[in-house]
Structure 1
Amino acid sequence: MKTTATPTAASTVTVHPAAARGHADHGWLNTAHSFSFADYYDPAHMGFRSLRVINDDHIAAGRGFPTHPHRDMEIFSYILAGALAHRDSLGNVRVLSPGQVQLMSAGSGVTHSEFNPSATEPAHLLQIWILPRERGLTPSYTEWQPRADAADRAKTLLISPDGRDGSATIHQDAVIHRLRLKAGETVTHDLASGRGAWLQVIAGELTFNDTPLAAGDGASTETAGRLTFTAATPVEALLFDLQ
């Protein structure tokens, strides 16, 4: 009798290599696009569920994005190095430091600018766009601030629909965790049926259900169950759990 092999956990993970990302160097901005964005278009990489943009941005000293409009998008920046000066039409004026998250719900329409305020040091951040649960929402702004008791946590909640545990609030059924793992450390995440997970590796090397990944790689799964992440080197990554 013919038998069919049961797929291993690793076979359910789809890898999106760092080298396959779109790339643009504008002099003042050096950026890599995980999904189609601006002049980079790849019909195979238009997003993952409600996740539409992951841009890995390096911004030169004293440069940035002048005031421009957005609507009907949840936009957040995760600061990796340097600083980011944010100003928007809601009246928010902030300078964000590494480890901080700022999330702007563009809703029915908002304008903002983002600049590197340093005269000498570059800034490095991830800018991420997620579709909201509905169009025409009232624009809003929220932040996540690192807490001293969370500095060494392997898995930390950054963003959630209800702002629980001090997380920034998003208008979508999306939960985003930061992973910070020491070499040899393992953390797990339970993915519910009907949901999808995307992992964006910021630094280091790890395995995602035994699939090896390195800095800049993305990986996704839509297979429910326990996801396991084990660091080969010190790792920082963002984990998206999406409806």
Structure 2
Amino acid sequence: MADHDPPPAALTVHRADQRYRSAPEDGVDTRHAFSFAGHYDPENTHFGALLACNEETLAPGAGFAPHRHRDTEIVSWVVEGALSHRDDHGHAAVVRPGRVQYLSAGAGVRHSEGNVGGAEGPVRFVQFWLQPDEFGAPPRYGLRAAPAGPGLHPLAEGTELRRADAALHLLRLGPYAPLPALPAAAYRYLHLVRGGLGFRTATGPRGVGRELGPGDSLRLSGPAEPVDPVAGPAGVEALLWVMGSALRFG
């Protein structure tokens, strides 16, 4: 399939308990949605331009020692606690729930991440890695508050991402609220953070009812759509990637 050809329609659910699990540092528990580090599944290496979706839990005092990235868009969303960030380009920040952190590694950046000093409980966050479509560019960093209130809100798009055909959205809805129409795209990846989401896989008697909970994900390619999606009894908070193309090689 050529890079510009649309993918065939497909709708797949991936459960939280299917994630690969690792402990890369003391006090760090990581659950990977795709092949990562020592976990390799040739059928699950990426989705669209998304290279990683990691759920991270860092105990008090734990974190990732300074390490280097290159040519990767890294977006972090804190679920609980506070995450400290420091890099070799002079950025130091604390990321709390309701704020989105964006790091474009570009030509190379060295950074560390950890549970904020003095924390009594863990920090939990979701981190995505996205392939850029511009390589070797100067690194850049951003941290800002997410839009408040219910609905589907953009978190990272346009000039924030070095991937012109990709965007990240935040979905927040109250109990039993119907979902708004999802943006059309060749690839869409929905990750459940809190609450639940119900839908049917197709209209009519062939449709199967599905329910998603925290840590579950929905992968949509081509024209596939969930039918009658609705928030669960506790509402829903989810992160939605919308991507116009898959990984590019060469």
Q: How does 1:61-210 map to 2 (within 5 A)?
A: 61-119=60-118, 120-146=120-146, 150-162=147-159, 169-172=160-163, 173-192=165-184, 195-208=186-199, 210=201
Q: Which residue of 2 aligns with 1:219?
A: 218
Shift of 1:81: 0.7
Question: Structure 1, residues 54-112: CA drift from partner, whole Å, max 9, x if none?
Answer: 11000011111111111010011111111011111111111111121111110111111
For 1:99 and 1:105, locate their aligned partners in 2 and report how far apart those are by CA, in whole Å.
Answer: 20
Greater CA deviation, 130-139 or 202-211? 202-211
For 2:26 and 2:92, locate their aligned partners in 1 and report how far apart those are by CA, in whole Å.
Answer: 26
Shift of 1:43: 1.4
2:17 partner SS: helix
User: Structure 1: where are the runs of 5+ without partners?
Assistant: 1-10, 163-168
User: Structure 2: where are the runs of 5+ without partners?
Assistant: 1-8, 202-209, 245-250
Q: Is the 8 A contact 2:26 2:62 kept in 1?
A: no
Shift of 1:180: 1.3
Identical positions, percent: 35
For 1:90 and 1:218, locate their aligned partners in 2 and report how far apart those are by CA, in whole Å.
Answer: 34
1:19 partner SS: helix
Q: Is the 8 A contact 1:52 1:130 kept in 2?
A: yes
Question: Structure 1, residues 157-190: CA drift from partner, whole Å, max 9, x if none?
Answer: 101023xxxxxx1111211111112111112234
For 1:38 and 1:230, locate their aligned partners in 2 and report how far apart those are by CA, in whole Å.
Answer: 35
Name the Cα RMSD after superposition: 1.9
Q: TM-score, normalized by length of structure 1?
A: 0.85
Shift of 1:19: 1.4
For 1:190 and 1:181, locate their aligned partners in 2 and report how far apart those are by CA, in whole Å.
Answer: 14
Q: TM-score, normalized by length of structure 2?
A: 0.83
For 2:236 and 2:184, locate their aligned partners in 1 and report how far apart those are by CA, in whole Å.
Answer: 25
AA matched with 2:174: K
For 1:90 and 1:221, locate their aligned partners in 2 and report how far apart those are by CA, in whole Å.
Answer: 37
Greater CA deviation, 80-89 or 12-21? 12-21
1:13 partner SS: strand
* Change in 2 beyond 3 A, CA 1:138/1:229: farther
Shift of 1:144: 2.8
Question: Structure 1, residues 108-140: CA drift from partner, whole Å, max 9, x if none?
Answer: 111111111143221000111000012211111
AA matched with 1:207: G
Q: Which residue of 1 aligns with 2:237?
A: 236
AA matched with 2:166: A
For 1:196 and 1:129, locate their aligned partners in 2 and report how far apart those are by CA, in whole Å.
Answer: 15
